[in-house]
Amino acid sequence: MKIRLPWLRGLTNLQQGGDTSYKDSFEEVAIGLAHVNFEGKFIRVNKSLCHFLGYAEKELLQTTFQQLTLKEELGDSINFIQGALAGEITESFSKVKRYRHKNGQLLWAKLTTTLIKDANQKPSYFLSSIQDISELKQTEHLLKQSEQKLKLIIESIASEVAVWLSNDKHSELLYVNQGFSELWGLDQFNLSSDVEDFFSFVHDQDVQTLRDIFANDSVNNFELDYRIVDSQGQIRHVHHVGRSIKEDDNVLYFVSSIIDRTALIERQILLDDSLLRLKVAYRDLQEFSRRDGLTGALNSTAFKERLAIAFEQYQRHQSPATLVFIDIDRFKQVNDTWGHLAGDQALIELVNHLNAQVRLTDAVGRFGGDEFLVLLTESNSQQAVEFCRRVGTGFTITLESGEPVEIRVSIGLRALTTDITSVDRWMRLADTAMYGQKN
């Protein structure tokens, strides 16, 4: 192995040349240095080595390197010594080893040993440099522990979550968990072997958006919801979070986590559908509460609300409107002669007849008993008269027995004018007009 410490070669040259600065360099250098004889005994040590091992200089000079080295790590050093002395090894020996501190603590160091020869090229002693790498090894140990913990955490994540680590968004995969196989239905190694396998499972309507993100190097962080079609042909909804890990603005790693939100989306769809059904039912209930239970016409409360709107429109914009009041003649006689079922049938038929004549903007309401109101919006008196002609003065119902019964009605109407100051007055005027016709 080649010597990788040029300054070490320099110290050797200085000593062999008898330079008086060698002693100072040997003592003050920040790395541990020692001269060791062929039996392994220290014959010279510097301050850095004494500090590293925790011994005074005199103590180290009475010690051998075998005493400070773990037994299981002696073999390589002894083999080098024997090979160097036999002339079989001419290169330096370098190895990461552990040493025992005076207090018993184990220390990590990088040992580099070189055989030093005299002017006649005869072996003189070994020069060893011992570089303290305890902090580095501790950092490596902590990093390894962190990596193991991270792997354990990722592996313990439910199969609904896929996690992978790469050097960019998709190539050179560094790690992928089992969740990817569970979610995609692909072997986890397919992610690194061919990225097209990854895209092939993305829904056709979503794949281009994902491709654009992966192809854009300026997008280092993103969150995206899209659909995939798994190996069974089932559509699954996923939430993809991509995060880059940078150092000096350079992307070192890219972490992707994909959560299967299919169950959540399906529950949300069911919830939305239930809410929609509930909304429709509530709307129907509201509408039902505004209707007369027998005829389906607006009840008096709902009809008055429509009248109030028409009255306000007239006050503001002079929008014409006419109120028609309708009453069944001798309705009590109908009930007494043919029964209440016949009376109910007459009320229903009347509303059906009115609904057939009105527009969508108009309204039909039951005021009470056999009295009905019709609001004709955007209609003047002349148009209202035409409506009354279409309604006529009566209609015929057919009893269950097949007997026809003629039903007569009286109609009165009143268009909005400036002298009508309220909805109630408008209704009274229409009612008066109806009774005028009846009489």
In CATH terms, 6-134 corresponds, of 3.30.565.10, 3.30.450.20, 2.30.110.10, 3.10.129.10, to: 3.30.450.20
The Cα–Cα gap between 63 and 384 comes to 125
36-66 pLDDT, tens digit each: 998 889 999 998 899 989 999 999 899 888 8
- Enter the pTM of the model: 0.45
Q: What is the pLDDT of residue 10?
A: 44
- Lateral strand order in the sheet of 32-36: 42-45, 32-36, 123-132, 106-117, 93-100
- Given the candidates 1.10.760.10, 3.40.50.1820, 3.30.70.270, 3.40.640.10, the CATH classification of the domain at 291-438 is 3.30.70.270
Return mean pLDDT, the chain.
Answer: 83
Q: For residue range 139-180, list pLDDT tens digits in order.
A: 777 767 766 766 666 665 555 677 777 776 666 667 777 777
The segment with the largest mean pLDDT, out of 78-82, 322-326, 435-439, is 322-326
Rounded Cα distance, 130 and 95, in Å: 10
Q: 88 vs 175, which has greater pLDDT?
A: 88
- CA dist list (Å): 247 to 170, 204, 252, 253: 19, 36, 7, 10
> Comparing 7 with 215, which gets the higher pLDDT?
215
> What does 353-398 look like in DSSP terms, one character per residue?
HHHTTS-TT-EEEEEETTEEEEEEET--HHHHHHHHHHH-SEEEEE
Topology at the third CATH level for domain 157-264:
Beta-Lactamase (3.30.450)
Q: Do the two domains 6-134 and 157-264 of this chain adopt the same fold? A: yes
- Does the pLDDT at position 16 exceed 50? no
